[in-house]
Structure 1
């Protein structure tokens, strides 16, 4: 028995040593020199920062909807494009990017329309940004417009309220910077790791690595269908919400 245990221990030790030796960092078990914990290859990819990072995919540049289609049937997107922005045309339905994504950094700017004070709560400036076409970050005029906590701007719709209300007043532009990690499913349809999202609204963190419980349903509990990459979708809720400067970096 002792010999067997010794052989197993030696095998495990040898395996660990081999793993360390094969690691790209070549980290020694007990480093004695600062160089032993430094690694240079592969070099870090250079990205030029700016209003649009050099490695970003521009999804809307203010000129056309060539990168978008109807979410319902894949026909050409029928929203209005003018003055460098796209605007919801009520009744034309949600639109989605033609390209599908998993993990990313998304930048998008949105503007609530000037609407009468008779419109209240969810009836005012309502739209949404859907990750993978099924997980909604709420877009809404939440400036001096009370509504349910998990339905205002910056909420993971019907799931997690924003940490604060950072919404600009009607007619002003809002910015969302969204860091999204897609869910990973097991081979038998279970969830290996859930989706997570961080949302920065007008420079303020309103969702901090928030777990997404599943699809953001209007009625009922979240669902967790197995899926692969999905589009960015924008919601037609009947309000003439506008969007501009939409770009994405794959991660």
Structure 2
């Protein structure tokens, strides 16, 4: 019996060793120069010394990032790093730098390097977006495994919407999030402002390897519970004045657009998702639209939405539910939600393309769109401040305009809204989710008022 157990143990170890040895790791830093990498944002110094990338701080420059030329979606990454105790840093993953997002500001997931007494190395931060997503504030094992002034090692898994991190073999983070599906990897040298005492401080990285070929096969289990951010506010969002309009369970902040209460049928909540049922494609002809009980003036709104094939819906703002008490939808400016490939409305309207996904419905066409495939979540963002309005889709600005201007009023006169006096010019109004007779789902509905 003992011999059988011993043989089983040896066999298991042999398989594990073989698996580790045959995993398709490949180097994305050659150890000699910065081929395959480029620098973004700040002017920190990056050079190669003794087989490592060395980043040095420079005064009066913003955060600097040495980024891969290639982008990556699903992968397992491992690397070693060493940092001065006076400097925090990080490793960007699935990150972007876009002209229409804060003038090429690097943004995306960052695996934190934190040598301070806080000890959050291995936590996940959302650089230049939402802030901390998974801080090490619950006594995660990794919080005690950082080695000051020595080489440390990260293992980082980004597979589907699941992120796992380990520091020196100890579990650090386990997160579910799907804000960004693909992006570059970046090595951060943090800004030091004008602090002379921190000029020339170093952070170093080496042995940077990645698996992109079937990473699921080589994924490791992690002993941390998965943190789910859906229908929750991050600590930064709470400090920034964000409010949840839907917490994944209650519809208390909503009512029917033509009702005093929430519709008794048609709309339902399941697994943290708010869904309008399929009812044949009619505009507000079944359960009807729903609106926020509260009205908003200047605001930033974020909504995740998922459509079904051929679906039509919309997110309206500056809605007055006292207008149009008859058939059809309540009146307001509309962020269009549409299956552009299958729904005939995509080719209609007096302004070309103005009824397509993320457009200002019937007025202005959205451009530079990158919708996610059918069946996946998309992320809408609407910003309205002092009559200047932006529509965003999946982290990219797709249109902007000024309401209450001669140009805007001309567009209205040329649209289906010409019959509504002062259309789109209310100082404040409700937010609306549309029932257009097709199955569409919503989650992570959050808003902050701008002052």
Aligned residue in 1 for 2:46: none
Cα 1:102–1:165 shift into 2, 3 Å: same
The structure with the greater share of residues assigned to strand is: 2
Aligned residue in 1 for 2:441: 242
Aligned residue in 2 for 1:60: 246
Q: 1:219 aligns with which of 416, 422, 425?
A: 416
- Structure 1 residues 118-157: aligned runs within 5 Å: 124-133=310-319, 134-142=332-340, 147-148=346-347, 149-157=353-361
The CA distance in 1 between the partners of 2:379 and 2:248, in whole Å, is 16
The CA distance in 1 between the partners of 2:131 and 2:429, in whole Å, is 26
Shift of the alpha carbon at 1:49? 3.7
Aligned residue in 1 for 2:397: 205
- Structure 1 residues 85-164: aligned runs within 5 Å: 85-89=273-277, 90=279, 91-113=286-308, 115=309, 124-133=310-319, 134-142=332-340, 147-148=346-347, 149-164=353-368
The CA distance in 2 between the partners of 1:57 and 1:199, in whole Å, is 19
The CA distance in 1 between the partners of 2:341 and 2:395, in whole Å, is 16
With structure 2 as the length reference, what TM-score do the two structures score? 0.37
Cα 1:216–1:94 shift into 2, 3 Å: farther
Shift of the alpha carbon at 1:168? 1.8
Cα 1:216–1:87 shift into 2, 3 Å: farther
Give structure 1 stretches of 5+ with no counterpart: 1-47, 116-123, 183-194
Give structure 2 stretches of 5+ with no counterpart: 1-129, 134-232, 280-285, 320-331, 348-352
Shift of the alpha carbon at 1:100? 0.8
Aligned positions, number: 182
The CA distance in 2 between the partners of 1:163 and 1:109, in whole Å, is 19
Aligned residue in 1 for 2:127: none
Shift of the alpha carbon at 1:245? 0.3
C-alpha contact (below 8 Å) 2:369/2:396 kept by paired residues: no
- Higher mean displacement: 74-83 or 224-233: 224-233
Aligned residue in 1 for 2:372: 168
Max radius of gyration: which structure?
Answer: 2
The CA distance in 2 between the partners of 1:50 and 1:98, in whole Å, is 30
The CA distance in 2 between the partners of 1:94 and 1:166, in whole Å, is 27
The CA distance in 2 between the partners of 1:145 and 1:73, in whole Å, is 29
C-alpha contact (below 8 Å) 1:136/1:216 kept by paired residues: no
The CA distance in 1 between the partners of 2:447 and 2:358, in whole Å, is 18
Cα 1:93–1:137 shift into 2, 3 Å: same
Secondary structure, counterpart of 1:110 in structure 2: strand
C-alpha contact (below 8 Å) 2:318/2:426 kept by paired residues: no
Secondary structure, counterpart of 2:354 in structure 1: helix
Shift of the alpha carbon at 1:129? 0.6
Cα 1:144–1:161 shift into 2, 3 Å: same
Aligned residue in 2 for 1:120: none
Higher relative contact order (CA 8 A, sep 6+): 1
Secondary structure, counterpart of 1:111 in structure 2: strand
